[in-house]
Structure 1
Amino acid sequence: MTYSEYRIPVKITYIGGGSLNWALTLMSDLAADSQLAAEVRLYDCDMSAALRNERIGSRFAEVSVGTPARYRAVSNLPEALEGADIVVISILPGRFEDMAKDLDIPLRYGVPQSVGDTVGPGGFMRALRAVPTFLEIGKAIKAHAPEAFVCNLTNPMSVLTGALYAAFPGIRCWGECHEVTKIRKIAAFIANRDRPERLFSFRDVDVNVLGINHLTFVDRISVAGRDLMPAYAQFAAHHRDTGWCEVDPAPEDEHARYFEDRNRVKFDLMRRFGLPAAAGDRHLAEFFPVNEYLGAHAVWQFGLTPVDYRIRHQAHRREIAEAIASGDREPEIIRSDEALVDQIAALLGGKPFTANANLPNAGQLSGFDHGAIVETNVLFSAGKLTPVKAGRLPTDLEEIIVEHSRRQTALVRALVEEDYRGLFAIFRGDPLLRQVPDRDAAAMYRDMLASTAHLLPAGLLQEAA
């Protein structure tokens, strides 16, 4: 029997199984896959959404390339976890309406955010809402699926992956993010410039990743054994002032206007620090003071993604999902850019697979605290998550990223220990608040806590005041 004919059985528990985004992406990828024979349990606090996705999953199974995956909505977390090989977590902490407050309130104090889900005041408040839930999920995994491999897809990635390890130190968990794909696509374009047949895709690009989630850099780029760093450096310098994207979106393409960029921040960071930045500009910009990129985002040619657009887009996706579930629309099998299916197959005995992932630092990234959640390459192989030795960042860049990393670690610790009085200092220390007067920073903090008080841990508002 050849490898391509072999099917790896896997039981997947999907927490957030009513998702309109990542859950359906996984369904499409499983339908396009020829490696796995999957049983997927869908758990969601909204059981009706999980049942809808169960119906959608059965539609994808009908048109699968390989062994059809089986989907089942499950009403309680212990049952969903029992016997799981893989646990996937993708949940929205609160609602988009709550996220809107995370953006609107800081903007009143002169702090714009392009995403607001990782760092800055928005990322901080999102973490406050999500960490308690992730601590409970971690404890449930310890009780019901301690041997499972756990993939966290939820932002803020570093903080929430850290919360899972805080709840269950023995957990076998990684944080999965596709942002590094963006530099790999640029590298593939460079490698293909003189090849009309477009020989290489981003999957052919090898990079060495260093940093923390959404603030990642690479110090090696290669394609088919060719060192692309000199060509990339020349390309970035050439396009630094004008920006570049492979295909200019249509002016009416609202999604592209709010989610895409022309890589000017990425290219400028290479000028400043000598290494290519890997993530998209919308994320990279949020790690630096407002006056560096966010304050002139139009000049830097990236958008601020408004929550009202996210709400409209979610409604559109819901319409599509309902149509697929009811049989009024055919499911489309499109292999996404995500690496999750390949990672699962490798962990369960398939072909080893290397990809960027977020893990506690065990020495793979020099200069960072032991146990801090860092993003480097990781080797996925039978029963193992092995971080790849990444090396060390340049000193000036390391100082910036370590500072962010220590705030993330401190935030998890404060919430685990319920040390709510120390939270404001962590909030205040973010570079996006550097130019905000102390009185305004304190007022912003109080306003943001009050805006979603019903979603925060009991006692936080009183002790944090």
Structure 2
Amino acid sequence: MVRIAFVGAGSTVFARNLIGDLIAYPELRDRLSFSLHDIDERRLRTSEVVANRIAATCDIPMTVEATTDRRKALEGADYVVTMFQVGGYEPSTVIDFEIPEKYGLQQTIADTLGVGGIMRGLRTVPVLVDVSEDISEVAGDAVFLNYANPMAINMWGLADLGSHPGYGLCHSIPLTASDLAHDLGIPADELEYTAAGINHMAFYLKLEHHGQNVYPKLKTLFTDPADAPRRGERGMPDAVRYEIMRRLGYFVAESSEHFAEYTPWFIKRDRPDLIAEFQIPLREYIRRCEIHDAEWDALRSRLEDESVELTIPHSGEFAPQIIHSIETDTQRTVYTNIPNQGHIDNLPDGCIVEV
């Protein structure tokens, strides 16, 4: 059996997506054992129900355990996936936004750097270090895969203070590549790319279609911010990244609403015109959390209701791909956040890079 522990398994939809990707591999579907952990017993229960529904729906001998005891969840794990947010929406995220706003600092997402990102990192790094120590003691050979933000801060803290090495994972590079393929009018699987940088600020160094550089065509698109494409369920405008590409020459992998707060160029106290021109959604993460909380009870009911068909989407996340590659000795390209050891020669050794 392949034993996989999810720490933060109360992230029910994300846990469902990872499980769905894993069972899609024929070599794995009959060998999977999941150990789910969360400190929120109600959400953990929902994830347990969903995991068991997946097993029943797909008729596979998958075993599922759920516990609020983290060390118990980690015992004997072959893989550990962390996917939690320390402090939650209230009080932590609200404080991350409201205190800076009192002093004139506006944010969009606040999960990477700046005041919000730093505070989130200070909450999260100690927990990741504790998890790494538990892994060393009860699952010493486990592969440690982290999704918790702020990625660079967390992985740097883990590298310096943790007792078990980890790999940071983010889906922004492949998802943005799919968006760019759509903008260019080509199939996503035909876009060839190489990206590198730091998490949420990795740039596509190569974008090619059948060996031809597509940057010249990309730079002719959406030259007016008002015409920028809209992304995702909420239709977020992507004007900032197209502007950055025209200024710097390369397209960045994380979304416009994220990138807008990473530099001093777009959110300025005395330039509200820039907010309007580039359609920058201030307090966007607050809105997302409020929408999620408002919809959660109904979503939970649907996920737990056996009379409602359970959808099991393919997410394309890196963790299942890595697990499959290790278990089957299959080569594939994935992007991870790891300490720089000459991977990017104009960034300091030891800092966390996404390559």
TM exceeding 0.5: yes
Q: 2:225 touches 2:277 (CA, 8 Å); kept in 1? A: no
1:275 aligns with one of 250, 257, 260: 250
Distance 1:328 1:96, change over 3 A: farther
Instruction: State the one-letter code of the partner of 1:47.
Output: E
Cα distance, 1:345 vs structure 2: 0.5
Q: 2:48 touches 2:65 (CA, 8 Å); kept in 1? A: yes
Alignment match, 2:112: 118
Distance 1:62 1:270, change over 3 A: same
Q: 2:71 touches 2:134 (CA, 8 Å); kept in 1? A: yes
Cα distance, 1:246 vs structure 2: 6.3
Instruction: State the one-letter code of the partner of 1:110.
Output: G
SS in structure 2 opposite 1:242? Answer: helix
Alignment match, 2:279: 301
1:73 aligns with one of 66, 74, 83: 66
Aligned: 1:222 with 2:208: yes
| CA displacement 1:38-84 (0-9 Å, x = unmatched) | 211001112342232111111112223x8453321033222211221
Q: 1:190 touches 1:231 (CA, 8 Å); kept in 2? A: no
1:232 aligns with one of 218, 225, 231: 218
Cα distance, 1:119 vs structure 2: 0.9
Aligned: 1:178 with 2:164: no
Distance 1:46 1:119, change over 3 A: same
Distance 1:293 1:41, change over 3 A: farther
Cα distance, 1:358 vs structure 2: 0.7
Distance 1:272 1:311, change over 3 A: same
1:343 aligns with one of 292, 314, 322: 322
| CA displacement 1:315-351 (0-9 Å, x = unmatched) | 4134322332242422102112423222210122242
1:141 aligns with one of 135, 146, 153: 135
Instruction: State the one-letter code of the partner of 1:316.
Output: E
Q: How far apart, CA to CA, are the structure 2 residues paired with 1:131 and 1:62?
A: 37
Alignment match, 1:26: 18
Alignment match, 1:127: 121
SS in structure 1 opposite 2:100? Answer: helix
Instruction: State the one-letter code of the partner of 1:244.
Output: A
Please, which runs of 5 or more residues in structure 2 have no aligned partner?
none
SS in structure 1 opposite 2:2? Answer: strand
SS in structure 2 opposite 1:63? Answer: helix
Percent identical among aligned pairs is 27
Q: How far apart, CA to CA, are the structure 2 residues paired with 1:122 and 1:246?
A: 25
Alignment match, 1:371: 350
2:197 aligns with one of 211, 222, 225: 211
Bigger-Rg structure (1/2): 1
SS in structure 1 opposite 2:202? Answer: strand
Instruction: State the one-letter code of the partner of 1:10.
Output: V
Instruction: State the one-letter code of the partner of 2:344.
Output: L
SS in structure 1 opposite 2:220? Answer: helix
Alignment match, 2:241: 266
SS in structure 2 opposite 1:356? Answer: coil
Detail structure 1 runs of 4+ shifted over 6 Å in the superposition.
Answer: none
Alignment match, 2:56: 62
Q: How far apart, CA to CA, are the structure 1 residues paired with 2:17 and 2:155?
A: 21
Q: 2:266 touches 2:275 (CA, 8 Å); kept in 1? A: no
Q: How far apart, CA to CA, are the structure 2 residues paired with 1:191 and 1:299?
A: 23
Distance 1:205 1:344, change over 3 A: farther
Cα distance, 1:102 vs structure 2: 0.7
Using the size of structure 1 for normalisation, the TM-score is 0.69
Using the size of structure 2 for normalisation, the TM-score is 0.89
Q: How far apart, CA to CA, are the structure 2 residues paired with 1:105 and 1:335?
A: 39
SS in structure 1 opposite 2:226? Answer: coil
Instruction: State the one-letter code of the partner of 1:297.
Output: I
SS in structure 2 opposite 1:154? Answer: coil
Distance 1:107 1:149, change over 3 A: same
